[in-house]
Structure 1
Amino acid sequence: MNKTLLSLTLFMLSIAQVYAQHNAIIKGTVNSSDGKPVESVTVSIKNTSLGTTTDADGHFQFNKIKPGSYTLKVSAVGLSTEEKQITATAGTVINVDFNLSESANQLNEVAISDRRRNLKVDNPSPSLRLGEPLLQVPQNIQVVTADQIKDEQITNMLEGVSRNVSGLVQQEHWGNYALIYGRGDRIAAFRNGMNIEATWGPLSEDMSFVDRIEFVKGPAGFMLANGNPSGFYNVVTKKPTGGTHEAFEFTTGSFDTYRGTADFDGILTKDGKLQYRLNLMGQEAKSYRPYDFTNRFDVAPVLRYKFDDKNTLTAEYTYQFQRMNAFGTAYLFSTKGYKDLPRDFTMAPSNSPASNIYDNSAYLTYEHKFSDKWKATVQGAYFNYKQVGYSYWIDSISTNGNVDRSLGLWDALNRNKFGQAFVNGEFGTGAIVHRILGGVDIGDKYYVADYNQSRSLDPVIPFNIYHPNNAAVTWAPFDRSEPLSVRGAGGLSTEKYQSAYVQDELGFFNQQLRLTLAGRFTHIATTDVYAGDATSRKLTPRVGLSYSLDNNTSFYGVYDQAFVAQTGTIYGGAQVKPLTGNNYELGAKRDWFGGKWSTSISAYQILKNNQLVADPDTHGTSNTNFVLQLGQTKTQGIEFDARGEITTGLSLMINYAYTDSKISKDINPANVGQPVPGFAKHVSNGWLTYRFQEGAVKGLGLSAGYMYQFDRRPWSLSGPLDMPNYFRLDAGASYQYQRYSLALNVNNLLNAYLISGGHEDYLSTSSGPVYNWQAEAPRNLRATLAYRF
């Protein structure tokens, strides 16, 4: 693949030398009448198919324009159209700025009264540090916007956000954190550019305080914190916009769901320097399973102070509280096969105890702009996740359906601290433009849990899954007299890392060809009660190449590596080694319909060393959390994504992925050639929306979406490859009138029995596999009434 990249480089250079010298760059900024940048307005070149939208700073850019005279046009719903005449000369950069006649508050009123969904973005968030349009990045990055999330009425990370990105599948969950798999492994959880993934967490983000979710495919540790070679998702939280608006929503639906949210965005001082954002959410929701419920509330205040045009300080705090039934009630067990039990089946007794989660996080970010081209950022974060809870499992199951249920204590504490400092800049050496990214990244993760205490719920009479008795039961109280640090000494793990990285993207021929060279040095120290202490360090390189065929089309190739610490318990006390990976990828991206709709396609191969999977055996102990460390896995595939607005009112998100992930090397020869657990070979999703633009039905929107998974792999290493295929159909309708909107969604329209699952052979009292699965909800409704002003 390195030879391939070299050949691709030479090929692109030869093309660029022929054509690039005859092109020009047009860029500029769109501001309101009171001097504030205007985001998401359309900038187009008349009588051509070229178009783009402004980013959060009001910037736009066209990278490859033939010499000639053009008319630039700025437009958006409710705005006065602005036009400017320009003349492009070969090899030059033309700066064109627009000052609209509307003020920032007037623009906000326009956005409220005639609001359109934003399903495609052109630029990554600042937390990805890239400083260039997504079209130019030599990597597959997909962004799910807040509007897409609202269209699908998703309330948290457990409700299928992954459907909007190719190749991702959501696996089992305990009700507190999301397990999302892509490219043959679990992808890491990030928030605002920091890897917050914990041993059992973090608490899944509620969408009330989420601005967007960026899914980054492949290794990307060089530009952020440590991350899995398969990729990560970066949750970007809402920040002050500098305008003033408020929004309220009330949601109700199946299973006695009641939810309210409030979003306050504004300024606290007359000069506009002190800005705020406050998001509030409260929810009560039962379940299609008896005794299950999830009650939750969130408070997320943000303060931002703009000292001047160059210095900004942002303080952010998020508190999430969740009260739910004891963990594990979603798991179903049988010796006969998947779907052997009704999907609303539960093993929980009627007096099932509740679990509480207290999740606190805080960010402090300082930004300094040295100039229009150089900026420094320093940020720190503190996370504290406290869990006081219980969990259900079974100790054994017989072919006649007799089960020995157990209730265990699961108190836990995640305490994580992060610090990052980085610089973005740009300078030129002759005809070459250098985009520089460099910085340091440190992290300190601490996890301790007491899951060592358990009680049998059926000491005399077994619980039978075919003749269930969910009557109240009694058990001896658990001992919480000692601090968690003492009780959970056997479940302690820590990770500390320090990293430094630098990247130079060299732009040739007016940025038509871009060569990325990067490296990251990482030092990691881990502690595990069973495996002991371990220290490791590694330098990971990255080489990328991106070529713009025209203003709407680019091709890229990339080679990079990853190095990630891992913790877990291997039976016998063997030390868990860090995960290392190599990624080879080629891809193409294109914008269509004036930049409103985008497509991307990529082909990749990832080699991962020391990947962890669940150990299907307890080895005769009470520990169900053993892991196995595989020698090497090989994952390869093809991914296609398309999203955005095809024409006014008609938007489409559709994706497809082919994934093949197998064990390529292992100390156990029987594992070689076996598929890696937890993925589907073929995954496709779609979501189509049409909103009427005129007439008596103006403001009415109709939508439909599907999720399809074929040739699925169970979440366990052992057992047959017998997971049923998956197809889910959803539909929705909405109506928008001035400041009001009403939406109704029907999920699982066909009322299909949908599952994810695996095998737990050690639970059987006789030979043969034990099937373990989780079922999704049957057909259900959700309605939301919103008011914005």
Structure 2
Amino acid sequence: MIKKLLLVTIVLFSINFFYGQNGSIKGKVVSTQGKGIQNVNVIITSLEKGTTTNNQGAFYINNLKSGNYTLEISYIGYNSQKITVTVKNNETTNTPNIVLIENQEQLTEIVVEGHKMNKYSQKKPSSALRLKGELVKLPQNIQVISSELLLDQQVTNIMDGVIRNVSGVTMLEHWGHFARVNMRGFRLPAFRNGVNVQDTWGPLSEDMNTVDRIEFVKGPAGFMMSAGEPGGFYNVVTKKPTSTPVAQISLSGGSFDYYRGTVDLGGKLTEDGKLLYRFNGMYQTADTHRGNEDAQRFGIAPALTYNISNKTSITTELNLQQAESFIGSAYIFAPAANGYGSLDRGFKFTDNNYPVTDIQELTLFTNLKHEISKNWSFETQFAYLRYDQEGNSTWLWNFEDTGDATRYVGIWDALSLGKYFQTYLYGTFNTLGITHNVLAGFDYSQKEYWADWNQSIVIDVNQPFNIYNPVYGNTITPVFDRTQKVRDRANAHNTGFTVRAFYAQDELAFLQNKLRLTLAGRYTQLVTLGKAETDKKFTPRFGLSADILPTLTAYALYDQSFLGQNGVSKSGNTFDPVEAKDIEGGIKKSFFDGRLKTSLGVYQITKENVLVTDPEDINFSIQLGEIQSKGIEFDMQGEITPELNIVLNYANTNVEITKDTNPANIGKKVAGHAKHMTNGWLNYNFSSLSKFKGFGVSLGYQYQVDRSAWSWGADNQTDLPDYFRLDGGLSWKNNKVRVQLNINNILDEYLYSGSNYGTYLYWQSEPGINGRFTVTYNF
């Protein structure tokens, strides 16, 4: 094996030594303030070959024959430029800094008239993912949901249906305050700006008012940001300060007393552009289709960027959210013999006086970027999260076939604290014609979580609550002991861990960047609260990406993961870390000059030490031996024509137990996914030449087949019916105003998800046909 690897290495080096006799071009694109501009297109017009600038504005084009070349430099919102460069063999031609001048008129037209840009397809990942280059060139499946797509779908929260835009992603039943998102059969950790903020029962579901994009990274990506969950993760990227003026206000109204207002402001605080700002604010109040559950949510998110010099900048973001949630109120219970949907979808299992839970979440990010030279830079980030919750949850205590239910309300006070530090070094250099893109870094995270679930009160004392003849208000009011803070209570569950991780990666580019080899490794030290020994693990990563055609790329990936697990078992024992291996491969194809992008991939994930719901107590988990997830994924995203945008995806997912202490469990399905799932969204905006200029129409669907319930107590059952939902929208806009109406569940289907718990069923229903109307004004 070693001889074969040496032979391959010698051949590749030899090939690139031959190609290395050519010359190259290196330069930097900056704004009028001298700051590097990221993602600028730099094209050699005669060869139709080019690249994009990195986060410092630098670019590099190699393997060019000697001669004169014309470079065309272009970026949205700036005037394009053309320069002539002379290239000589065995030399690198350094261009002077290329200054692009803002074109305010062009930028306004592109932002407001969304059909003039590719709204749905993103070319590169955010800098938060620490990855360089185009998405199509990476040996991994990464899907990006743009802010324009969120706007067309009128998504205001991560729980509103964001997951429909990515293959194989489902959202399971929830308590109401956080999103439990699964992909490839496993729960996804929530990231914000590249930081893993996941805890046991959180974080708070993300409001889209502050969101610029959401990135779904499939597969372990164990070398990045102390992330080792084998299913992947989703990364919410927030809006950043900008030199381009932003002034927008939005007002919404809709079904179930839904009212919402948002404001988005940004621009320069100083004339020289050294100090930039962004401010987002929102207020929302809304009921549910069950009624008497009016909840409010408020948030402010100021951000500042200080450009210390042309090479150094620092950005600080604060996000404060105050939210109310009726935790657990969405659940409905009925006898198993009656079947799902046997009660009206507006049926309410909690009392009208059921107390609301108050939640406050504070996040703080500070990011420092510095360009050491044209080829080397580093980035350091500090982050802090505090999540406070004071409230309760409700569940079933006892249930009779007659429909008599005895309910209980339990205290659910929680505190989550997270402290994070990341530092990264980026570099680019050549050896014998091989381009090396190097990434090295250190990642530190410290999380601790306290929760009090140990106080509960049966509220149906005088008489049971009958689901067929419900009487509300005939209960006792729960009163809990809160004389101490939750972190000081002796009965509070306390979990947490500290992670220290070092990693290094080299992306080697061969054959004029047509062949790319990724070699990476990560060493992790994991300290789990309550566990004496420190867990340590080295996890390698190998990736290969090759351009078969200019518009067709094939990739292969081998990755391992290692991740600590929060929580304790019912007996109070901590859990072993998750270890998993991922093997996958696929192709990525673009159409219509890159405006429409598609990907098709297959994968196999083998995961050990997985957690599932404890069948004896749903508030706890148990740890299995081994689970294997196999699947096929297809994603399409982008423009068919400048007027027509599309999102289309399909996933076949199969997750089974492959090793267990109980042989009878082997081969059983692992709960929480649909075997077949497909989603689609079409958006058509009439062109400026049409008499319907400014109008747009959207239509989308979600379809799931062979769904498995999420609870371990479901015991391999798949008795949930198929799921189909149809949504649509109409809009009109001009240079200042956008008016939009979205209708969800157009067919008024009774849609739900839930589980069969033996003698009874429980499920959560979605509302019937409902709508939202929004008016947005740009100053």
TM-score, with length taken from structure 1: 0.91
Task: Provide the C-alpha distance between the structure 2 equivalents of 1:638 and 1:94, rounded to a whole number of angstroms.
Answer: 45
Please identify, of 504-513 and 596-605, the stretch whose mean Cα deviation from structure 2 is larger: 504-513
Give the secondary-structure state (helix, strand or coil) at the position aligned to 1:626: strand
Of the three residues 712, 737, 742, the one matched with 2:739 is: 742
Q: Deviations over 1:30-84 (max 9, x none)?
A: 6666766667777777799889887776677888999999876667889766566
Cα separation, partners in 2 of 1:506 and 1:100, compared to 1, 3 Å: closer
Of the three residues 699, 720, 723, the one matched with 1:723 is: 720
Asked if the contact 1:514–1:546 (Cα under 8 Å) also holds between the matched residues in 2, the reply is: yes
Asked if the contact 2:29–2:100 (Cα under 8 Å) also holds between the matched residues in 1, the reply is: no
> How many aligned residue pairs are there?
771
Asked if the contact 1:266–1:276 (Cα under 8 Å) also holds between the matched residues in 2, the reply is: yes
Asked if the contact 1:709–1:726 (Cα under 8 Å) also holds between the matched residues in 2, the reply is: yes
Task: Provide the C-alpha distance between the structure 2 equivalents of 1:322 and 1:93, rounded to a whole number of angstroms.
Answer: 56
Asked if the contact 2:357–2:390 (Cα under 8 Å) also holds between the matched residues in 1, the reply is: yes
Of the three residues 621, 626, 637, the one matched with 2:631 is: 637
Q: Deviations over 1:446-481 (max 9, x none)?
A: 111111111111113110111111225323521111
Q: Deviations over 1:175-224 (max 9, x none)?
A: 11111101111011111111100011000111111111111111112121
Shift of 1:106: 4.3
Residue 232 of structure 1 corresponds to which residue in structure 2?
A: 233
Shift of 1:521: 1.1
Amino acid at match of 1:306: N
Residue 536 of structure 2 corresponds to which residue in structure 1?
A: 537
Amino acid at match of 2:130: R
Asked if residue 331 in structure 1 is aligned to residue 321 in structure 2, the reply is: no
Cα separation, partners in 2 of 1:464 and 1:590, compared to 1, 3 Å: same
Give the secondary-structure state (helix, strand or coil) at the position aligned to 1:266: strand
Task: Provide the C-alpha distance between the structure 2 equivalents of 1:640 and 1:88, rounded to a whole number of angstroms.
Answer: 42
Superposition pairs for residues 312-461 of structure 1, below 5 Å? Answer: 312-325=313-326, 327-335=327-335, 336-461=338-463
Residue 465 of structure 2 corresponds to which residue in structure 1?
A: 463
Give the secondary-structure state (helix, strand or coil) at the position aligned to 1:316: strand
Shift of 1:374: 1.1
Amino acid at match of 1:302: A
Asked if the contact 1:53–1:122 (Cα under 8 Å) also holds between the matched residues in 2, the reply is: no
Cα separation, partners in 2 of 1:546 and 1:368, compared to 1, 3 Å: same
Give the secondary-structure state (helix, strand or coil) at the position aligned to 1:647: coil
Give the secondary-structure state (helix, strand or coil) at the position aligned to 2:151: helix
Give the secondary-structure state (helix, strand or coil) at the position aligned to 1:198: coil
Shift of 1:394: 0.7
Give the secondary-structure state (helix, strand or coil) at the position aligned to 2:158: coil
Asked if the contact 1:40–1:56 (Cα under 8 Å) also holds between the matched residues in 2, the reply is: yes
Give the secondary-structure state (helix, strand or coil) at the position aligned to 1:485: helix
Task: Provide the C-alpha distance between the structure 2 equivalents of 1:481 and 1:45, rounded to a whole number of angstroms.
Answer: 70
Residue 565 of structure 1 corresponds to which residue in structure 2?
A: 564
Give the secondary-structure state (helix, strand or coil) at the position aligned to 2:435: strand
Amino acid at match of 1:698: K
Residue 491 of structure 1 corresponds to which residue in structure 2?
A: 493
Amino acid at match of 1:329: S
Shift of 1:716: 1.7
Q: Deviations over 1:409-428 (max 9, x none)?
A: 11110011111111111122
Please identify, of 501-510 and 537-546, the stretch whose mean Cα deviation from structure 2 is larger: 501-510
Of the three residues 726, 729, 732, the one matched with 1:732 is: 729
Amino acid at match of 1:283: Q
Residue 678 of structure 1 corresponds to which residue in structure 2?
A: 672
Task: Provide the C-alpha distance between the structure 2 equivalents of 1:563 and 1:754, rounded to a whole number of angstroms.
Answer: 37
Please identify, of 276-285 and 17-26, the stretch whose mean Cα deviation from structure 2 is larger: 17-26
Shift of 1:564: 0.8
Asked if residue 547 in structure 1 is aligned to residue 546 in structure 2, the reply is: yes
Cα separation, partners in 2 of 1:217 and 1:92, compared to 1, 3 Å: farther
Amino acid at match of 1:450: D
Residue 481 of structure 1 corresponds to which residue in structure 2?
A: 483
Cα separation, partners in 2 of 1:146 and 1:261, compared to 1, 3 Å: same
Task: Provide the C-alpha distance between the structure 2 equivalents of 1:550 and 1:331, rounded to a whole number of angstroms.
Answer: 52
Amino acid at match of 1:519: G
Residue 214 of structure 1 corresponds to which residue in structure 2?
A: 215
Of the three residues 775, 781, 785, the one matched with 2:765 is: 775
Residue 287 of structure 2 corresponds to which residue in structure 1?
A: 286
Asked if residue 652 in structure 1 is aligned to residue 639 in structure 2, the reply is: no
Task: Provide the C-alpha distance between the structure 2 equivalents of 1:203 and 1:571, rounded to a whole number of angstroms.
Answer: 25
Residue 695 of structure 1 corresponds to which residue in structure 2?
A: 690
Shift of 1:687: 0.8
Cα separation, partners in 2 of 1:349 and 1:212, compared to 1, 3 Å: same
Residue 710 of structure 1 corresponds to which residue in structure 2?
A: 705
Give the secondary-structure state (helix, strand or coil) at the position aligned to 1:203: coil
Shift of 1:725: 0.9
Cα separation, partners in 2 of 1:257 and 1:590, compared to 1, 3 Å: same
> Gaps spanning 5+ residues in structure 1: where?
619-623, 762-768
Task: Provide the C-alpha distance between the structure 1 equivalents of 2:333 and 2:7, rounded to a whole number of angstroms.
Answer: 52
Task: Provide the C-alpha distance between the structure 1 equivalents of 2:34 and 2:310, rounded to a whole number of angstroms.
Answer: 12
Asked if the contact 1:457–1:473 (Cα under 8 Å) also holds between the matched residues in 2, the reply is: yes
Please identify, of 110-119 and 266-275, the stretch whose mean Cα deviation from structure 2 is larger: 110-119
Task: Provide the C-alpha distance between the structure 1 equivalents of 2:77 and 2:520, rounded to a whole number of angstroms.
Answer: 44
Cα separation, partners in 2 of 1:571 and 1:391, compared to 1, 3 Å: closer
Task: Provide the C-alpha distance between the structure 1 equivalents of 2:416 and 2:525, rounded to a whole number of angstroms.
Answer: 21
Task: Provide the C-alpha distance between the structure 2 equivalents of 1:170 and 1:154, rounded to a whole number of angstroms.
Answer: 15
Superposition pairs for residues 164-243 of structure 1, below 5 Å? Answer: 164-243=165-244
Superposition pairs for residues 603-618 of structure 1, below 5 Å? Answer: 603-618=602-617
Shift of 1:99: 6.3
Superposition pairs for residues 501-516 of structure 1, below 5 Å? Answer: 501-516=503-518
Residue 765 of structure 1 corresponds to which residue in structure 2?
A: none
Task: Provide the C-alpha distance between the structure 1 equivalents of 2:258 and 2:383, rounded to a whole number of angstroms.
Answer: 33
Q: Deviations over 1:700-725 (max 9, x none)?
A: 11111111111111102234221111
Give the secondary-structure state (helix, strand or coil) at the position aligned to 2:651: strand
Shift of 1:107: 4.5
Shift of 1:337: 1.8
Cα separation, partners in 2 of 1:282 and 1:6, compared to 1, 3 Å: farther
Give the secondary-structure state (helix, strand or coil) at the position aligned to 1:489: coil
Superposition pairs for residues 567-582 of structure 1, below 5 Å? Answer: 567-582=566-581
Residue 600 of structure 2 corresponds to which residue in structure 1?
A: 601
Task: Provide the C-alpha distance between the structure 2 equivalents of 1:50 and 1:699, rounded to a whole number of angstroms.
Answer: 35
Asked if the contact 2:282–2:298 (Cα under 8 Å) also holds between the matched residues in 1, the reply is: yes
Cα separation, partners in 2 of 1:17 and 1:51, compared to 1, 3 Å: closer
Task: Provide the C-alpha distance between the structure 2 equivalents of 1:23 and 1:683, rounded to a whole number of angstroms.
Answer: 49
Shift of 1:562: 0.4
Amino acid at match of 1:442: Y
Asked if the contact 2:261–2:283 (Cα under 8 Å) also holds between the matched residues in 1, the reply is: yes
Give the secondary-structure state (helix, strand or coil) at the position aligned to 1:158: helix
Of the three residues 742, 746, 757, the one matched with 2:754 is: 757
Shift of 1:775: 1.1
Residue 621 of structure 1 corresponds to which residue in structure 2?
A: none
Of the three residues 641, 653, 658, the one matched with 1:664 is: 658
Q: What is the identity percentage for the equivalent residue pairs of Structure 1 and Structure 2?
A: 41
Shift of 1:114: 3.6
TM-score, with length taken from structure 2: 0.92
Cα separation, partners in 2 of 1:306 and 1:180, compared to 1, 3 Å: same
Cα separation, partners in 2 of 1:455 and 1:110, compared to 1, 3 Å: same
Task: Provide the C-alpha distance between the structure 2 equivalents of 1:231 and 1:504, rounded to a whole number of angstroms.
Answer: 21
Shift of 1:271: 1.7
Cα separation, partners in 2 of 1:25 and 1:747, compared to 1, 3 Å: farther
Shift of 1:243: 2.0
